[in-house]
Amino acid sequence: MAPEQKKQPHGPFRFRDDPRLLSALMTAPAVIYIALLVGIPFLLAVFISLSDATTGDPSLDYVGISNFRTVIGDPVFRQSLKNTFIFTFASQALVLVMSKILALALMKEFRGKWLVRFLILLPWTAPIALGTIGWLWMFDSIFSPMDWVLRYVGLLGRPGALLGVNSNLYWLGIPGLAMASVTVVHAWRMLPLATVILLAGLTAIPKDILEAAEVDGAGFRQRLFSIIIPLLLPIMSIAVLFGVVFTFTDMTVVYILTRGGPVQSTQVLASWAFFKGIEGGDLAQGAAIALFLFPVLAGVATLMLRLARRTEVN
Amino acid sequence: MKEKKKEKRAGSGLTRRQFVKVTGLGVAGLSAPHIFIPRQARGAGKTLKILQWSHFVPRYDQEWFDNYTQAWGKENDVQVTVDHISLAEIGARTAAEVAAGDGHDLIEWISPPAQFEPSVLDLTDVNQEAVKRFGRQHPLAVRSSYNPNTKKFYGFCHGWVIDPGDYRKSLWDKAGKADGPETWEDLITYGGKIKKDQGIQLGIGLSQELDSNMAGRALLWSYDSGVQDENENVIINNERTVEAVEFMARLFKESMTPEVFAWAAVSNNQALLAGKASYILNSISAYRSAQKQVPEIAKDVYCVPALKGPRGTRWSSEHVIYSYIIPTYSKSVDTAKKFLLDLVDNYDQAMYFSELYNSPAFFDAAVKGGDRGYPAVKGAKNLRDLHNTWFDDDPFRIEGEAKGKLAVLKDAEKWSANVGHPGPANPAIGEVFATFVVPNMLANAARGMSAQTAVEQAETLIKAIFDKWRKKGVVGGTS
């Protein structure tokens, strides 16, 4: 019997039998999407930062790295850079701890669990600007409800009160308090996403491992630190990566709550790039400021993805 | 410098627009063939697209401007579209439209849009025609729309807003100054007394926002200093600025609370309405809000003109300066120019429907006859007559309110200045404004920094900004 001759693919659908062509075709939408929405704007930002473009004259006349030199010499930029790191790491530390606690709590069965889950997710589903305006009212210099509660319980606004004799704490008017406020609001906003990610990770941990550990006499702390956290590390890395990237590039919370004040004490790179580049008209310097984010974000992303991969392999 | 730049743009220099066009061509071609349909094919007839802020006084947009533009369009066979946006979005939106090379034909700014000069039409002809038709334009309007270095009108300024002091008469009366403060020092003497005896602070923002920026400038000018001189040289570092900054540190300590470091543009209004401020520096919109929301407070709110400094000088910043620009991409240039001139011709209505918030840039413009949509003012021939009559007897006075409370604003143009005073507005002044250098200088001193150090820090920032824009050829001066 003569060997059956292999049928060569032909016609418009021949790519179906060519794995290389098929894979290229399947990934093409993602590649095009990234190239258009990330690649081109990124390259544009690089070109602008090397030019003398302004909002009124966006032509790209090459000026070398002079914008970067000017930006580095600007004390407000240096303050913003420092603030960006504080804002990012403080809020992410808060998010990490709180999301872990929340995720563990939500693993338990209790009455009204769906309502708690819904409430926890709410900050993520509501528009960030809207939520932050709500917080702006909470931190109001005169009408802050938090101040009202503190006054009511005697912690504020009377002689000898723990938090001072002033009738208000001026949350957004004192540099340290203002930074704490923007950090907490950002953590509040990021918490649902991290919680959901960790919750997904927790549900994926095989129950028999935990049960076996329990049978062997491992207590909660041992199970948490020797089993749960190590197994959650890859997914925690993803949560942290998302959190760091979102926080590093966010200006909404700062812009709405403080506009970088008081005296630039909460200014972050993203908001400073906006004030300098768009409001101030110096597009090139604004782009240079924004691009300072890139090496940090690229470094964080690489680190986190490597960590996640290594943990997965182990 | 300017010519060189233009040459580069016209020649080998790659523009941002070109870059985007080249990189986006393929996608655009693939995804949206309909966008290549010629514009003319979409419909015949003239069009005019206007972008401007949502006016602080809702009646202006709702009862007048939007109806006026439609009526104007009908009369002139033009399809007019008006898009209102928040004032905070104007800068970003204009930048986006300029970069895209498409958008609105007229964009109204409420601060001098000097940084957009290279991308907007020179409106010298409209300004000259307006002067010919309506008489002299107020100098602060000229200085907010004209660049003396390039000899170009980058905008057309039709109006401005007065920025007086608003004070609570009952509180000041008890402190022994019933007619309110006359000098900056009064704010400490009497404002401090009110805070100490009556527990009500005064509110001048030291924050990163609009009103703090204006208040800071009013203080500097009244202390015979400023950011720049009339020739656009940076002059901030001098002993009079130090004196002003020291004053602000004392004022904060004696009469204010840390809330002023956190204020947004609306905060001083809120404080006044809540009965938590004895004096604020704001337009009459704060008072108008009080009339509608807390009439009892409104009846107690009175206005004072700019406060005098230690040598008797007094200046206040305009609160808003209206300036329309026509981007170079506009295809309705003549229509837009006609609209601007007709707007001035109907400015009596702009004044009335803004509840006297808007003041005219052309005081001598004649008042048109017939039914103007407001109670006729007997004997009023021009906008000056209307201005004086209405401020003498406020048509929006509420029941039980004293007459003539706004009369002190009749001569406001004598003590009101543009943002770059005594020089013109320019992109450097704009960037100094947008990055809050002046309020931060004052806030630093109020928070304990020595006045001299605060001024030196501000000077470093301001000089860097001026040097940069000077190199682009759009700012004058040498130092």
The pair of structure tokens assigned to B352 is 């009335």
B222–chain A nearest CA distance, Å = 23
User: Chain A contacts of B27, Cβ < 8 Å?
Assistant: 32, 36
Nearest beta carbon to residue A36 from set B27, B92, B116: B27
From CA B381, how far away is CA B134, in angstroms rounded? 12
The predicted model gives B278-296 an average pLDDT of: 95
User: Chain A contacts of B248, Cβ < 8 Å?
Assistant: none
The answer to whether A142 contacts B24, with C-beta atoms less than 8 Å apart, is: no
Q: Best interface-test mutation with B: which of A31, A34, A49, A60 has the largest number of B CBs within 10 A?
A: A60
The predicted model gives A79-97 an average pLDDT of: 95
Displacement of CA A3 from its chain's centroid (Å): 61
User: Chain B contacts of A171, Cβ < 8 Å?
Assistant: 262
Residue percentage of chain B with pLDDT more than 70: 91
From CA B413, how far away is CA B319, in angstroms rounded? 12
**Orientation of helix A175-204 relative to helix A75-107, angle to 10°:** 40
At A123 the pLDDT is 85
Q: Which residue did the predictor score with more confidence, A4 or A203?
A: A203
User: Chain B contacts of A68, Cβ < 8 Å?
Assistant: none
β-strands B46-53, B106-109 pairing: parallel
B400 SS3 class: coil
What band does B90 get if pLDDT is binned at 50, 70 and 90? very high
CA distances (Å), origin A75, targets A72, B172, B224, B461: 8, 42, 28, 8
Tens-digit pLDDT profile for residues B447-459: 999 999 999 999 9
Length of chain B: 479
The answer to whether A258 contacts B430, with C-beta atoms less than 8 Å apart, is: no
The predicted model gives A130-147 an average pLDDT of: 93
Nearest to B412 by CA among B204, B206, B211, B218: B218
β-strands B146-147, B106-109 pairing: unpaired
Could you tell me the CATH superfamily of domain A50-313?
MetI-like (1.10.3720.10)
Which residues make Cβ contacts (< 8 Å) with residue A172, sequence separation at least 6?
A136, A139, A141, A178, A181, A257, A258, A261, A262, B261, B262
HSE, CB side, 13 Å, CA atoms: give it for residue B27. Answer: 13
The answer to whether A280 contacts B431, with C-beta atoms less than 8 Å apart, is: yes
The answer to whether B118 contacts A56, with C-beta atoms less than 8 Å apart, is: yes
The pair of structure tokens assigned to A70 is 């000017």
A29 SS3 class: helix
The answer to whether B16 contacts A48, with C-beta atoms less than 8 Å apart, is: yes
The answer to whether B261 contacts A75, with C-beta atoms less than 8 Å apart, is: no
At B191 the pLDDT is 97
User: Chain B contacts of A261, Cβ < 8 Å?
Assistant: 207-208, 261-262, 436, 440, 443
Tens-digit pLDDT profile for residues A141-156: 889 999 999 999 999 9
State the CATH class of domain B165-316+405-471: alpha beta
At B9 the pLDDT is 44
Single-letter residue type at B242: V
Name the residue ranges covered by the structural domains of chain A. Answer: 50-313
The answer to whether B461 contacts A75, with C-beta atoms less than 8 Å apart, is: yes
Write the ipTM.
0.84
Tens-digit pLDDT profile for residues B100-148: 999 999 999 999 999 999 999 999 999 999 999 999 999 999 999 999 9
Q: Do B165-316+405-471 and B11-161+320-391 fall under one CATH topology?
A: yes
From CA A248, how far away is CA B166, in angstroms rounded? 41
Write the burial class of residue A117 (CB in 10 Å: 0-12 exposed, 13-18 middle, 19+ buried).
middle
Name the residue ranges covered by the structural domains of chain B. Answer: 11-161+320-391, 165-316+405-471
Cβ contact A90:A247 at 8 Å: no
From CA A27, how far away is CA B49, in angstroms rounded? 42
User: Chain B contacts of A44, Cβ < 8 Å?
Assistant: 16, 19-20
Nearest to A284 by CA among A94, A61, A9: A61
From CA B426, how far away is CA B111, in angstroms rounded? 11
From CA A232, how far away is CA B79, in angstroms rounded? 61
User: Chain A contacts of B19, Cβ < 8 Å?
Assistant: 44, 47, 60
B406–chain A nearest CA distance, Å = 28
Q: Which residue did the predictor score with more confidence, A293 or B172?
A: B172
Residue percentage of chain A with pLDDT more than 90: 53
CA distances (Å), origin B351, targets B14, B61, B347, B363, B388: 45, 12, 6, 11, 12
The answer to whether A58 contacts B444, with C-beta atoms less than 8 Å apart, is: no
The answer to whether A276 contacts B431, with C-beta atoms less than 8 Å apart, is: yes
What band does A8 get if pLDDT is binned at 50, 70 and 90? low
The predicted model gives A270-280 an average pLDDT of: 95
At B18 the pLDDT is 57
- Locate the chain B residue with the closest alpha carbon to A267: B208
Fold of B11-161+320-391: D-Maltodextrin-Binding Protein; domain 2 (3.40.190)
From CA A124, how far away is CA A188, in angstroms rounded? 9
Average pLDDT, chain B: 91
First CA to last CA across chain A, in angstroms? 52
Q: What is the per-residue DSSP string for B2-52?
A: HHHHHHHHHTTPEEHHHHHHHHHHHHHHHH-GGGGS-GGGG--SEEEEEEE
Cβ contact B335:B48 at 8 Å: yes
β-strands B46-53, B78-85 pairing: parallel
**Orientation of helix A40-49 relative to helix A283-291, angle to 10°:** 120
Which residues make Cβ contacts (< 8 Å) with residue B458, sequence separation at least 6?
B236, B237, B437, B438, B440, B441
